Amino acid sequence: MTLPMNPRYPLEMPQSIDELMGIALGMEREAALRYQQLSKRMEGQGEIELAETFLDLAVLEQSHGQGLVDWARREGRPTPRAKQFDWQLPETFAETDLAGAPLSGYQALAIAVRNEELAFSFYSYLSAMTDMQPALRHYAEALADEELNHIAQLRRLRRRAFHKGSSAGQQAFLKVSDLPAFSRFAWGLENGSAVLCRLLLERLRGTDEEMVVALLDRTVAETEQRATMLAERVGGGPVPPGSRVIEAAHSGHLLTSSTLTVEHLLAMCEKDARDVLDAYLGIAEQASEAALLSASQDIAERALARLAIIRSLQGVGVFGD
């Protein structure tokens, strides 16, 4: 395969572990550079705490890059040659002089989250490829796991920035105070996400997008398995509500409508995944029990993976340019 895997990040399929390590190193160095620029931008706007956070993230990315070099050295591989990897930046960023329209803390963190998710999506693609070399898949999975924790950290910071700039009560999360209540709540969300993503999957079967189908098929199966596990944990009963997107779709009989396009389904899947992740992270932030905190953080990571994968599908041939 010589064409880019996804038009949203023009990276070709790596053919070797050394090439993958070069891509990963390029991603880490690009992220470190952008975090340094965001730090300087936030400092210039008087956002000192956020400036320090971005500076810490830049140092973290630099250490990740050095870790990749050390990893290659330990395995007797050549030092990775960093491949160019450009972040997606708004026109107002003005990366040369950092002038332009001011960025809010939320906007700055949103830039970071979206670009880190693109990197995660790339590794997810590789790990889902059925014809991928086992060793290459192993490296891709390890790199994807590393990205997950980083993205979760950024999304928590972004949430706090949103609340800081919002009026009290503008966005409320369902209060779940114990593990049984959380299991029932999560069952509804995971079930709804599985139903919606499976609709998208069935619409894509038979197309030429075999890689997309394989990746989405695995995502749907994992989501359905979590829903089943949660249902068994709470002893069954009526399925709890899904996200606002799912419930609105049910009310409007959209899930049984033949007028929904693939693009509409993809957009609904993304909105659902985003709402589900926000709910899990909100519960984790307010959890007072260790078991509830652990459970909500664990399933939030899975929801984050689902969101990143769904977002990575945008721009793929079958969805239009």
- Candidates 217, 149, 224; CA nearest to 189 is 224
Number of alpha helices (DSSP H) and beta strands (DSSP E) in the chain: 9, 2
Question: What pLDDT is recorded for position 192?
Answer: 94
Model confidence band, residue 95 (pLDDT cutoffs 50, 70, 90) = low
Mean pLDDT of 231-249: 88
CATH number, domain containing residue 52: 1.20.1260.10
**Residue 31, domain member (yes or no):** yes
3-state class (DSSP) for residue 314: coil
**Domain-ending residue, one of 164, 198, 224:** 164
pLDDT over 70 at 171, yes or no? no
For residue 98, what are its two tokens? 């950092």
More confident residue, 205 or 102: 205
Q: Are 35 and 54 contacting, i.e. CB atoms less than 8 angstroms apart?
A: yes
Q: Give mean pLDDT, residues 281-310.
A: 85
Residues 41, 159 within the same domain: yes
In this predicted structure, the answer to whether residue 45 has a pLDDT above a threshold of 90 is no
174 in a structural domain: no
Task: Report the range of poorest mean pLDDT among 139-143, 189-193, 211-215, 267-271.
Answer: 211-215
Nearest to 224, CA basis, from 245, 255, 199, 251: 199
Q: 171 in a domain, yes or no?
A: no
Q: Residues 100, 103, 108, CA angle at the centre, nearest 5°?
A: 125
Question: Does residue 249 fall inside a structural domain?
Answer: yes
Task: Give the residue from 104, 131, 164 where a domain finishes.
Answer: 164
For residues 250 and 306, membership in a common domain is answered with yes
- CA angle in degrees (0–180, nearest 5) for 289-293-296: 135
Whether residues 150 and 194 share a domain: the answer is no
- Say yes or no: 92 and 156 in one domain: yes
Degrees, nearest 5: CA angle 311-314-315: 145
Q: Which residues contact 99 (CB under 8 A, 6 or more apart)?
A: none
> How many structural domains is the chain composed of?
2
Contact 209, 317 (CB under 8 A): yes
- Residues 14 and 135 both lie in one domain: yes
Buried b (16+ CB within 10 A) or exposed e, 172-183: eeeebeebeebb
Domain annotation covers residue 173:
no
Predicted pLDDT at 164: 62
**Cross-strand pairs, 9:** 6
**Residue 59 lies inside a defined structural domain of this protein:** yes
Task: Look at the pTM and tell me if it is higher than 0.75.
Answer: no
* Arithmetic mean of pLDDT over the chain: 80
Distance CA(249)–CA(256), nearest Å, equals: 9
Residue 37, in any domain of the structure: yes
Q: What are the tokens at 33?
A: 């550079």
Which of 135, 164, 193 corresponds to the end of one domain? 164
- β strands within 3-143, DSSP E: 4-6, 9-12
Average pLDDT over residues 60-86: 87
Of 172, 109, 180, 113, the residue nearest 147 (C-alpha): 113
**140 and 243 both lie in a single domain:** no
Residues 83 and 189 in one domain: no
Place of tokens 């985003």: 274
Average pLDDT for 136-157: 81
Taking only the tens place, the pLDDT of each residue in 251-276 is 877 777 677 788 888 888 988 998 89
* Shared domain check, 193 and 141: no
Q: Indicate left, alpha or beta for 46 from its phi (over 0: left) and psi (-120 to 50: alpha).
A: left
Q: Which residue in the block uniquely carries the two structure tokens 């990897």?
A: 85
- Shared-domain flag, residues 14 and 142: yes
Pair (184, 242) in one structural domain: yes
pLDDT at 314 over 70: no
Between CA 196 and CA 208 the distance in angstroms is 21
Residues 128 and 235 in one domain: no
Same domain for 189 and 128:
no
Q: Is 191 domain-assigned?
A: yes
pLDDT tens digit string along 23-44? Answer: 889 988 988 998 898 888 888 8
Tell me the residue range of the domain where 118 lies.
4-164
Report the CATH number at residue 294: 1.20.1260
Work out the average pLDDT over 88-117.
70
